[in-house]
Amino acid sequence: MQILIDDSRLKPVLEKVEARERLSFDDGIALYRSSDILALGYMANLVRERLHGSVTYFNVNRHINPTDVCVASCRLCAFGKRVRDPKAYTMSLEEVWQRAGEGWSEAVTEFHIVGGLHPELTLGWYCEMLRGLKQRFPQVHLKAFTMVEVGYLAQRAKVPVREVLERLRDAGMDSLPGGGAEIFSERVRRIICDHKITGEQWLETARAAHELGLHSNCTILYGHIENEEDRVDHLVKLRELQDETGGFVTFIPLAFHPDNTALRHIPKTTGFADIKNIAVARLMLDNIPHIKAYWIMMTPRMAQIALRFGADDIDGTVVEEKIYHDAGATTSQSLRRAELLQLIRKAGREPVERDTLYRPVTRTETAFTVLV
């Protein structure tokens, strides 16, 4: 098909996309530098429809953040609090288990569990939390702990990362979410999250998880002090690891939210940047099956548009969200299943409820079945 491309620098990229060829680092830069959003969207949508047709995934999930106490004090974050901060909280195990059962009556298929790096909670405590959740909610998939939390638990328990992952897996962790990757460039990490594990350590931890047969997601945090080279380098590093392990399920571009962070002087990202990051991700990450437009972060309106610019997933019901709302997100904290269906249908897409590993889910009012 003949398509109109305003930005002639994108013509060679279009030829590669049409020929199903892998895009290079320089292609990634050309995509990020282009303002021809419709050409980007055309290409990204081509890839998205090749992979998934019109199907758009969502899930019925619940976020649980057991503590916001965090020793890292990342400049990018408004969620983490010091141990002695009167506003900080840490749930007891009973509270975590009780909180898990609260919210919509709709049967959730996934708990998404992340928190701060707490200096006192032990690996044993987290394992007990997982065991208690599995005992009470045996059908629910536990997507828990960023690579950063795993790295911190390993450091504190003085055991190898692989062993921490094994112990968490044996206690009930089914997969890992994609957070904490931020931007792998050390120059940028030194400024936005200087006490976190390095980019190399994040990738090593993901590799170890995948080698144990655990799947995980991955993310990028954009819209702060990074440049185009940093972003493309990040995507290429994820693509290289995925070539090795095949363990990444979904990639989620995350827009920096500056409110209440030490970087609050940085302006918020634009809708244009948010859409562009979805499209570039779809085009560069040819080996990661899914690209998620996280509606909490993008707003439901923009997430809906993203479904025509490369995204095939809109995330879930969430129920209770803290990380983005502490940093100024104005979206609601939750959407009902029916609202997600409506958003997807109104974008002319075909909604499919999935579990964490993208197996279709069928449900009644209070129960669900995963089709395997």
For the segment 56-95, give every residue that binds ligand V47 (CB under 6 A). 76-79
Question: Cβ of residue 118: shortest distance to ligand V47, in angstroms?
Answer: 16
Among 226, 223, 221, 224, which Cα is nearest to 238's?
221
CB 364 → ligand V47: shortest distance, Å?
25
323 binds ligand V47 (CB under 6 A): yes
Which of 294, 295, 309, 358 lies at the binding interface for ligand V47 (CB under 6 A)?
A: 294
The 245-284 contact track toward ligand V47, x by CB under 6 A, reads -------x-x-xx---x-----------------------
Q: Which is nearer to ligand V47, 328 or 360 (CB)?
A: 328
Q: Which residue has the tokens 């499209």?
A: 279
Residue 327 touching ligand V47 (CB under 6 A): yes
Is residue 217 near ligand V47 by the rule CB under 6 A? yes
Regarding 221 and contact with ligand V47 (CB under 6 A), the answer is yes
Taking residues 141 to 170 in sequence order and writing x for each that binds ligand V47 by CB under 6 A, - otherwise, the string is -----x------------------------
**Nearest distance, CB of residue 86 and ligand V47, angstroms:** 21
Interaction of residue 335 with ligand V47, rule CB under 6 A: no
Q: What minimum distance in Å lies between the beta carbon of 18 and ligand V47?
A: 31
Can you tell me the distance from the alpha carbon of 342 to that of 300, in angstroms, rounded to the nearest whole number? 11
- The nearest distance, CB 192 to ligand V47, in angstroms, is 9
Q: State the residues that interact with ligand V47 by CB under 6 A.
A: 76-79, 146, 177-180, 182, 217, 219, 221, 252, 254, 256-257, 261, 294, 315, 323, 327
